[in-house]
């Protein structure tokens, strides 16, 4: 014979709807770490703070990524439609370009260029 479940009072039902229970099993080490960093805050406050900070971190990451992409992205133009398309770092096309440059171009970093700018002998050897 199955036992009937007790009927919840309306106040308890409303409370549970407003404040749902989230139960998580974690390791002992993770709990110790969580307790260490939460100090006098409740677990709910720690979770809320973590989620808010995670959103900010994600936003900052995207801003930095977009700024770096705009500043450092290299691209090529399609020979058919003439649209620019990005060259993905370490892709096959990127490797082809690097191989071509290393065989057919004189590549000098900015430091060496500044250091040997007045020395025609160095630049004549590189040509």
Predicted confidence at residue 101, as pLDDT, reads 85
Dist CA 17 CA 39 (whole Å): 28
Mean pLDDT by 10 residues, the chain (127 residues): 80 93 93 91 91 91 91 87 89 90 79 77 63
Do 109 and 103 meet the contact criterion of CB atoms below 8 Å apart?
A: no
Do 73 and 86 meet the contact criterion of CB atoms below 8 Å apart?
A: yes
Q: Is 69 exposed, middle or buried (0-12, 13-18, 19+ CB in 10 A)?
A: exposed
Predicted confidence at residue 109, as pLDDT, reads 79
- Strand ranges for the chain from DSSP E: 75-77, 84-86
Q: Which two tokens stand for residue 20?
A: 């749902």
Greatest Cα-to-Cα distance within the chain, rounded to the nearest angstrom: 100
Predicted confidence at residue 46, as pLDDT, reads 92
Predicted confidence at residue 108, as pLDDT, reads 76
Predicted confidence at residue 125, as pLDDT, reads 62
């Amino acid at each position: 014979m199955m036992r009937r479940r007790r009927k919840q009072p309306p106040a308890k039902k409303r409370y549970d709807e407003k404040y749902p229970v989230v139960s998580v099993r974690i390791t002992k080490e993770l709990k110790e770490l969580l307790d260490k960093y939460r100090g006098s805050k409740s677990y709910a406050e720690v979770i809320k703070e973590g989620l808010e900070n995670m959103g900010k971190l994600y936003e900052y990451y995207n801003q930095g990524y977009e700024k770096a992409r705009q500043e450092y992205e290299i691209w090529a133009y399609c020979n058919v439609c003439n649209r620019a398309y990005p060259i993905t770092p370490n892709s096959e096309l990127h490797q082809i370009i690097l191989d071509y440059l290393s065989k057919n171009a004189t590549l000098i970093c900015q430091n060496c260029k500044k250091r040997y700018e007045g020395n025609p002998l160095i630049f004549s050897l590189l040509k």
